[in-house]
Amino acid sequence: MSLNEKTKAELCEITYDQSCCKLAALSAFVRTAGSIVSENRNYGLTLSAPANCAEYYGGLMQDLFNARPVYNVGKSGITGFTVLNENSLSILVELGIIRVDGNQLTLVIEPEDYLVENECCKRAYVRGAFMGSGSLTVPDVKVKSTTTGYHLEFVFSNYLTALHFCNLLGSVNFLPKLIERKGNYIVYFKQHEEIKDILAYMGAINAVLEFSDLVVFRDVKNQTNRVTNCEISNVNKQVEASVKQCNAIKTIADTIGLENLSDELAKTAKARLKHSELPLSDLADLLGISKSCLNHRLRKLTAIAENLK
């Protein structure tokens, strides 16, 4: 089970004592996961959701409105539910989805303020929106190299609805970003600290702990990889430099002979050839000179070889 699925399963365990919170949560869930349907002049709703979320919000529908949702069932089990009868229009009105003015029905784009008047209702509304259209994406730590980062988002079909949700999050000290993607409007967070905070705000404490562990594990893994890559790079550079130095010394030996070099350069050249695998610091210790002195001698040997070509 993915962390996204675990988070929604955990949120399905939360119970509400007050009807106002149930209404806020259900309103957000229907608004993000549902569609309005009509039949024989009756207006109702149908929605798609994982089985646990559908059953959870179907239960809230029964508690609040004594409605009996008809669960949609596919090959994998429950895929959502439908409420469509002579009373379902009044449910949509109570949820702040539709406004009735005489014979005129109007879709309410920006949710009514009374739904999120209390702090507890704001929290419930955010939960409902996440369970209806939200998702949490985290990097797969088993994959050696991945471009996937941390990402938590809520999807809305209307810009004003998404903007209203941004403002609601802003009222409780969150600063999400908003973009358009394929005709939908995405309210999202990408910083792991922000994601951890929004998970905690929704009440998904177990998800916060697992997410935090994942962040720490990935940071340690990335740091280890950086150190390893740096070490490999340094070794490669040392090998390349040693090969270049040994080739230069061999050129000198084949043309003028090492015996025609000064004692210091001859001694350095022979030591480099004999201990080609040693890093400069170890070779300098072997010769009893400083690393900078050794570097100077090797550069001089390389320059001599270049002039002999």
pLDDT for res 96: 92
| CA–CA gap between residue 99 and residue 102 (Å, rounded) | 10
pLDDT tens-digit series, residues 53-65:
999 999 999 999 9
Domains of the chain listed by start with CATH number: 3-220 (3.10.28.10), 231-308 (no CATH)
With beta carbons less than 8 A apart as the criterion, state whether 58 and 46 touch.
Answer: no
pLDDT for res 222: 65
pLDDT tens-digit series, residues 23-37:
999 999 999 999 999
Strand partners, 185: 156, 180
Q: Residue 211 above 70 pLDDT?
A: yes
Could you tell me which residue, 220 or 125, shows the higher pLDDT?
125
pLDDT for res 215: 78
pLDDT tens-digit series, residues 126-147:
999 999 999 999 887 565 555 5
Structure tokens at 272: 């480099």
> Quick check: pTM over 0.75?
no
H helix and E strand count, the chain: 11, 10
Q: Is the dihedral of CA 191, 196, 202, 208 positive or negative?
A: positive
Q: Residue 285 above 70 pLDDT?
A: yes
| Residue 185 to residues 16, 102, 154, 161, Cα–Cα distance (Å) | 29, 32, 8, 9
Strands of the 184-189 sheet, one edge to the other: 135-137, 151-156, 184-189, 177-181
pLDDT for res 199: 96
